[in-house]
Structure 1
Amino acid sequence: MRALIPGLMLCLLCLLWPLAAQAATPRHVTDAAAPRTVGTDGPVLVQWGDPAKFTELTHSGNRWEAARGNWVFELAEHLASQASPRLADGQRLEVDIVDIDLAGDYEPWRGPRLSDTRYVRDIYPPQITLSYRLLDAQGQVLESQQQTLRDLGFLHGSGSMVRYRNDSLRHEKRLIDRWLQQALPATSGQLAQGRK
């Protein structure tokens, strides 16, 4: 019986190994099962279409590497969490992310050993195009427009370097923060209530 147990354990491990490997693989933003919306229950709704059509993927030097991770969802969550405390009671913000081009790009001409290296340079600024509607408590549209957010001097500002120092999406989050400061100027009282 004791000789049978290691053999059974080995068989069980062989059966479970593919499942564990599949669960450990990184999510791609283009996965069909990946969410396409954030904040359906809160005052800020952020949604987006197929990221495979975003500039980040369609004009990338390495589409496979550019699709890795969950960066669309992370940016949408950031937008929702930062916008929520800026809204007055009863207001609702609905945002459609139309396009994203992350800061930096892949440079395939550097050779296969560096094909998965993202180079962040001035010539590859972050850019986010979004369409939004701000609604009052009665559901009336207060403001509605489409905007393209871009920061050509993204490497020269210090704000994101301190606040989002170790965040790979620091340039994009700073872009969103700047847009929110302009689109939804909140009083310090509103922001303090939102942080509680």
Structure 2
Amino acid sequence: MKKIVWSILLLLSPWAMAETAEQQWPTQDGPVTVVWQNPDEFRDVEASSGIQERYENHVFATLGKQFQKRLSGLLKDGEQLTITVTNLDLAGDVRPSFGASASDIRIVKSVYPPMIEFQWALLDQNKQLLDSGEVKIKDLNFENASSSLRYQNDALHYELSMIERWSKRDLPDVLASRTE
């Protein structure tokens, strides 16, 4: 009888429910929508300390807001831009601290550059596709980039400056033509 009661309690516990609930990551809405597609398959969004889910939530919200900030001013009234992030690799690599502390550590070296892969789609006010494409941003010179100084107090400063540089230099023609 005790086994049945414990089994029922386990099934109804918040931990069991959390395992079955689908994870919802932040998606920024407005003229620029950022969607995080299959984040469990991303190359590296590993927390070095703390709760993994909270860390991912912070990373996705911070980078999503950067996309919005950089791209929303380029759109005409009624247009919608959707960024679908398909892969993310944060600068550095998380390594175990082997008992030196309770947390792992993120080693940032030039051999671990940041990278973001995404698809974008621009819709007009009638929801007709104007243009779309796939982008892979990888910053091999991330440690020496002067633009990262702007974000130096942010844990994601390499990724934020990488998105900023892409939005200034490498925008697709359909978006870049609006800044002239």
Give the equivalent residue in structure 2 for 1:174.
161
User: 1:134 and 2:116 equivalent?
Assistant: no
CA distance in 1, matches of 2:154, 2:49: 21
TM-score, length basis structure 1:
0.67
Deviates more, 1:60-69 or 1:144-153: 60-69
| RMSD (CA atoms) | 2.6
How many percent identity over aligned positions? 34
What amino acid does structure 1 have at the position aligned with 2:179? Answer: T
Cα offset for 1:126? 0.3
Aligned residue in 1 for 2:27: 37
Deviation at 1:47, TM superposition (A): 0.8
Stretches of structure 2 lacking an aligned partner (at least 5 in a row): 1-20
Given residue 171 of structure 1, which amino acid in structure 2 is its aligned partner? Y
CA distance in 2, matches of 1:177, 1:187: 14
Rounded Cα–Cα distance in structure 1 between residues aligned with 2:44 and 2:160: 16
Q: Computing the radius of gyration over CA atoms, which structure comes out larger, 1 or 2?
A: 1
The count of corresponding residues between Structure 1 and Structure 2 is 152
SS of the equivalent of 2:85 reads: strand
| C-alpha spacing 1:133/1:78, structure 2 compared with 1 (3 Å) | same
Distance 1:175 1:66, change over 3 A: farther
Query: Match of 1:38, as an amino acid?
Result: Q
CA contact 2:110–2:140 (8 Å) conserved in 1: yes
Unaligned runs of 5+ in 1: 1-30, 189-196
Once the two structures are TM-superposed, the CA of residue 102 in structure 1 deviates from its matched residue by 0.3
Structure 1 pair 33/67, CA: closer, same or farther in 2 (3 Å)?
closer
1:74 is displaced (CA, Å) by 1.6
Partner of residue 179, structure 2:
187
Q: How many angstroms apart in 2 are the aligned matches of 1:148 and 1:131?
A: 9
Specify the alignment match of 1:159 in structure 2: 147
2 CA distance for matches of 1:66 and 1:122?
24
Matched-pair contact (CA < 8 Å) for 1:65–1:116: no
Question: Which of 41, 64, 75 is the matching residue for 1:76?
Answer: 64
- Match for residue 85 of structure 1? 73
Shift of 1:51: 2.0
- The code of the aligned residue for 2:145 comes to G
Structure 1 residue 64, shift from structure 2 partner: 7.7
Q: Which residue of 1 aligns with 2:135?
A: 147
Give the counterpart letter for 1:175 in structure 2: M
In structure 2, the CA distance between the partners of 1:61 and 1:93, relative to structure 1 (3 Å rule), is closer
- Would you say the 8 A contact 1:130–1:147 is kept in 2? yes
SS of residue in 1 equivalent to 2:132: strand
Shift of 1:133: 0.4
